[in-house]
Amino acid sequence: MFRLVIAGDLGEPAVTTYPLRDVACAHRDLESRRTTGSLVLTV
């Protein structure tokens, strides 16, 4: 696994960001599986 990470074979992690004011939209996207990877709420 470490060899794949070091070689860059796994690519960049998927991160989706939402402003905190759109928390309801972020929650809907999570429930409907429209996102992959991490979801981050920003201020």
Q: What pTM does this model have?
A: 0.67
Contacts of 4 (CB under 8 A, 6+ apart): 10
Q: What are 33's two structure tokens? A: 């599986």
Q: Tell me the residue range of the domain where 25 lies.
A: 12-42
Q: For position 33, what pLDDT does the model report?
A: 93
- Is residue 2 assigned to a domain? no
pLDDT at 22: 97
Q: Could you tell me the CA-to-CA distances from 31 to 6, 9, 14, 38, 43 in Å, in that order?
A: 33, 29, 17, 14, 22
Query: Is 23 among the domain residues?
Result: yes
pLDDT at position 8 is 84
Which tens digit of pLDDT belongs to each residue from 1-43?
889 888 888 888 889 999 999 999 999 999 999 998 899 999 9
DSSP, collapsed to helix, strand or coil, labels residue 32 as: coil
What is the pLDDT at residue 14? Answer: 87
Residue 20 inside a domain? The answer is yes
Instruction: Look at residue 11 in the predicted model and tell me its pLDDT.
Output: 82
Query: Would 24 be classed as within a structural domain?
Result: yes
User: 26 lies in a domain?
Assistant: yes
Q: How many domains does the chain have?
A: 1
